Amino acid sequence: MNTWLKSLLIGTVVAGIAFVVFERMSKKRTLQYFTVHYELERAAAPGTGPSSHDETVVELHKMSQVLQTRCKNAGYPIEVKDLANGEKLDVTIQEISDTARVQKLITRIGKLEIREVYTVEELASLNASARKETEPVSIEAVPADDTVIDTGKAIKFSAQEPKPVKKVEPAPSFESIFTSSQQPDGAEIGSVAEKDTAAFREIFKKELLRLLPANARFYYGPNLTSTMTKKSNLGVYVIRVNNRGSILIDNSDIKAAMQDFGPSGDPTVAFSFTSIGSRKWGMLTGNNVGRPLAILVDDIVVSAPKVESAILGGKAIISGGFFVSEALALADQLNSGAMPARFHIIKQEISQESSGINLKALLIILVAFAIGTGTSYLIFKLLKSN
């Protein structure tokens, strides 16, 4: 047999042995990926009519930019095309190993706000004063799925409020559905069961609106402090808005965000502020020492920590009981900015693909083949010359 043929045969055997050893060590023969294809269209904001064609095109263009930034920051190849004369988006994302993370990456608005709150103690004091001069109030009806309650204007509740399971008859009392917080200096004023949110809204409109300051809005969030109630209940928070001179921190103040872990090992989102954001954060925390601040993501309170002292380092942490995938997705969203509008997914397709032999295995095979072939050829030549 020709020396080269013998050498090639031995090189092939060596490469095969190297591949088997590598496979047993790595225990991973192929890399499995997914490709996700979406068709998206803009969703009208709650309580508003349809947008004009030009407004829709502009907002979808901004959405396209945000989506591309989010996916590129997360390491996913993405392709975005316009459909229906610019009124829809065709989005294809490749090389996905965690479809749940991508779903959150795509569907969340990613709007971050840090705001001041009214505590139970403050509201009790304000309500006592308000009861001395009660007057009838005019309540403007708005759709139930609006974003929040604006106590100075119309009644608006969180878009995240679950749909009522059934109509409550007879109407329950406020005391039967609302559990007050036992922490007077906490951010959460109480909690309500998900099935009672519709009844809570009606009672609020009829009985409680006139007792609240004009710059207050209700938001829902996790049941953080009401230890005597079920954790599945929704916490109720009263957020300060539209204060003259109030300091609002939002996405524009975020420089960078990353998924991290807290002292107890729970997933968190750590972020740093821009120079302007750092000054605002220092002033906001300095003005609220001993008081809680509410951190909201997409109009949901995710955390309401109490400020121990002014924070001048330009950094903050969100710990909201996240899973790792949720913390990663939120960090990606903060790094790319908030969506300019909500949208509907009108089509979704997920396909599984395989990358075949991974690059590391291929490199090992080639190196083993070259070494086996070259070494055996030299040995055969030496033996032949002797």
CATH number for 319: 3.30.1360.200
What pLDDT sits at residue 15? 73
Model confidence at 32: pLDDT above 80: no
pLDDT band at 386 (very low <50, low <70, confident <90, very high): low
More confident residue, 18 or 178: 178
The answer on pLDDT for 71 being more than 80 is yes
Phi, psi of 32 (to 5 degrees): -95, 130
Are residue 92 and residue 135 in the same domain, yes or no? no
Mean pLDDT of the chain: 78
Are 242 and 368 within one domain? no
> What 3-state class would DSSP assign to 142?
coil
Span 117-172, pLDDT tens digits: 998 888 877 666 555 554 444 333 333 334 343 333 333 444 455 555 555 466 67
More confident residue, 236 or 184: 236
Token pair, residue 29, equals: 């023969």
210, 223: one domain:
yes
Q: Are residues 351 and 284 in the same domain?
A: no
- 10 Å CB burial of residue 50 (0-12, 13-18, 19+) is exposed
Q: Residue range 230-249: average pLDDT?
A: 78
Examine the domain organization and report whether 156 and 69 are in the same domain.
no
pLDDT of residue 49: 61
Q: Based on the fold, state whether residues 189 and 332 are members of the same structural domain.
A: yes
Let me know: does 74 contact 332? Beta carbons within 8 Å: yes
- 176 and 282 in a single domain? The answer is yes
Q: How far apart are the first and last CA of the chain?
A: 18
Instruction: State the pLDDT at residue 254.
Output: 93
Give the span between the Cα atoms of 255 and 278, in whole angstroms. Answer: 10
Instruction: Give, as one character, the DSSP assignment of residue 38.
Output: E
CB 309 within 8 A of CB 9: no
The residue-averaged pLDDT of 332-351 equals 85
Question: What's the pLDDT at 330?
Answer: 85
Q: Report the number of distinct structural domains present in the chain.
A: 3
Cα dihedral value 346, 104, 343, 48, nearest 10: 140
- From the list 80, 38, 83, the residue with the least C-alpha distance to 56 is 83
346-373 pLDDT, tens digit per residue, is: 888 888 765 555 666 677 777 877 887 7
**Which residue range(s) make up the domain with 208?**
112-336
pLDDT at 27: 53
Per-residue DSSP letters for 77-103?
A: -EEEEEETTTTEEEEEEEEES-HHHHH
Q: Domain check: are 210 and 116 in the same one? A: yes
Q: Given pLDDT bands bounded at 50, 70 and 90, which one contains residue 269?
A: very high
* Residue 283 and residue 323 share a domain: yes
Task: Tell me what pLDDT residue 147 has.
Answer: 37
20 and 161 within one domain: no
Residue range 27-52: mean pLDDT, rounded: 71
Residue 150 shares a structural domain with residue 248: yes
CA distance 46 to 149: 12
Number of continuous H segments (helices) and E segments (strands) in the chain: 9, 16
Task: Please determine, for residue 25, whether its predicted confidence score (pLDDT) is greater than 50.
Answer: yes
**How much of the chain is helix, strand and coil, in % rounded to 5?**
40, 25, 35
In a shared domain, residues 160 and 218? yes
Q: Domain of 83: which CATH number?
A: 3.30.70.100
